[in-house]
Structure formats: structure tokens, C-alpha cells
Amino acid sequence: MISATSKAKTSSSSIAFPAERPDRLATELIESKVDVIVAVTANGAKEIKQAKSAIPTVFVIVADPVGSGFVESLAHPGDNMTGLSLMSADMSGKRLALLKETVSNLSRVALLFDPTSRNLPLYISLYANAAKALGLFLQPVEVPTPDTIEDVFSAIARDGFDGAEVDGSMMFNERVRVGSSALAHKIPTITIISEMVQYGLLMSYGQDFPDYFRRAAGYVDKILRGAKPGDLPVEQPTRFKQVINLKTAKALGLTIPPSVLISADEVVE
């Protein structure tokens, strides 16, 4: 997802990038000579970067902006990009620990991932290390398309997995299908995105994404007032949000431990 803002107009426009032609749409957006581009996802930011655009760009949902080559460092981005760092993979151990504390017999966890996501080797490695430290068996499982979500949950249930970590933009877009499939196959799930939990996932732990978009708007305002992106440090999370779905817990036959329940920022009942 990429959006464009122009100080010559009072309105803004958004362009969603279909997977089959993000490079073409990035070129079209750059050629329109907007004043600021907001690249919501890492894939969108990558297309802007590869197009060698000089337009100031603010990225929002990016796990590793330095490793992705978008900025030189968090403190001194340089060039024409800045924005927000998710630190999502850095919280992998916390999410797995919460899932283990909640599901007492947890032993085998499937790490469901969208193969188009960036920095997959780092993402998988961090989760593997966290799982090992917790005494869990973790298996990365690719979910290539929305149509395979149901089949993937069926397969991991059949193979004896008793929990799943679910992340990625495609999974968020298909959160209704993800939640219903997880419930149908009795798989307790945890995610970084709290907005997915109400659709049948068990719990989440991660950034407050609405707050992230408000902070991204702050970057745009500064840039339109004359600030250079390279002089605006990349921001990291200031708070993390934990959400628990008690309806899902009941459907799965789980009792949420008081230690987990008391730390929740939001409970779906």
C-alpha cells in the first residue's frame, strides 16, 4: 500500500499495489510528482527505493528499515526516506512465551508466513531461536495465497501442531478466513496485529498500529513544512498492546491464566 500527498491540493489519494504490478504503479506515482509518498508496507517502500525516486517517502509497517536498505541508520536515515520501525521480529520470544503460558500443553508451533514478506531469513531465524529457548518445536509453513489458508490450517492440525504464529499483510487482509480456519481446526493462534483477534484468533502482542499511522502523519506534516526525511530519525515502538479473545479461548476449551489476563490491554468477550 502506498499513498501520495501533495501540498498543492487539500485532498490526498491512496493507491493499493496489486501483487502483480507494484513496480508499474510506483513508477506512475513517482511520475505524478507528488510532494510526499507514504509507503505503508515494506514491499511498497522497496518499489519506491528501487525506482530511485527523489520524492520524500515515509514508510510505516517495516520490520527492519536498516536491513532492508531503506535508511543508513535509525538515528540518521540519510537520503529521502524515513518512518517507523516495527521491531516485530524482536518481540518473537515474547509472543511465543505468551502463547506457551496460555496453552499449557503447547509443544509444536507452526510459523505461518507470507512468502512475499521481506527479510524472511531473519524473521524465521529469530523465531527459531526463541522457540528453542522455550523448549518448543517450531516449523515455518508457507501460506502462498489466500486460497491455501484453510488447507494450511487443516494440514498443521493433522500433523499435530498445537499452536500457530500468524503474521504478514496477506494474513491481515484475509483475517476473517484466518480466524475461521483456526477455530475450525482448533488451533490457538497469536499475532502481532491486534485488529485480527476479534475474527477468531486467540491473542496478539505487538505495536498499536492506529498509533503508528498517526505518527506517520506527523512525519508527513514535518516534511511538508520543510524538513528533510534524512534528518528525521526513524521511530521505534513506544508501547506494545496485548489483546485476548475470551470467546475464542472458550471455543478452544482454554482457560486464560490470571497472569496473562491481568496484563491484557483489551479483552474480547
For 111-141, write each residue's pLDDT tens digit: 999 887 766 787 888 899 999 999 999 999 9
pLDDT higher than threshold 70 for residue 257: yes
Cα angle 59-62-66, degrees, rounded to a multiple of 5: 95
Same domain, 136 and 201: yes
pLDDT higher than threshold 70 for residue 4: no
Task: Spell 98-131 as b/e; 16+ CB within 10 A means b.
Answer: bbbebbeebebbbbbbbeebbbeeebbebbbebb
Same domain, 36 and 75: yes
pTM of the model as a whole: 0.81
For the segment 182-207, the average pLDDT, to the nearest whole number, is 96
Same domain, 161 and 59: no
Determine the structural domain holding residue 182 and report its residue range: 89-207+241-268
Give the model confidence (pLDDT) of 215-240 as tens digits: 999 999 999 999 999 999 999 888 88
Same domain, 252 and 136: yes
Same domain, 155 and 222: no
Q: What is the pLDDT of residue 225?
A: 96
Same domain, 103 and 203: yes
Structural domain total, the chain: 2
Same domain, 38 and 137: no
Same domain, 7 and 94: no
- Give percent above pLDDT 90 in the chain: 63
For the segment 79-105, the average pLDDT, to the nearest whole number, is 89
Same domain, 75 and 93: no
What CATH number should be reported for the domain holding residue 146? 3.40.50.2300
**What is the chain's mean pLDDT, rounded?**
88
Same domain, 73 and 142: no
Same domain, 169 and 258: yes
Same domain, 123 and 112: yes
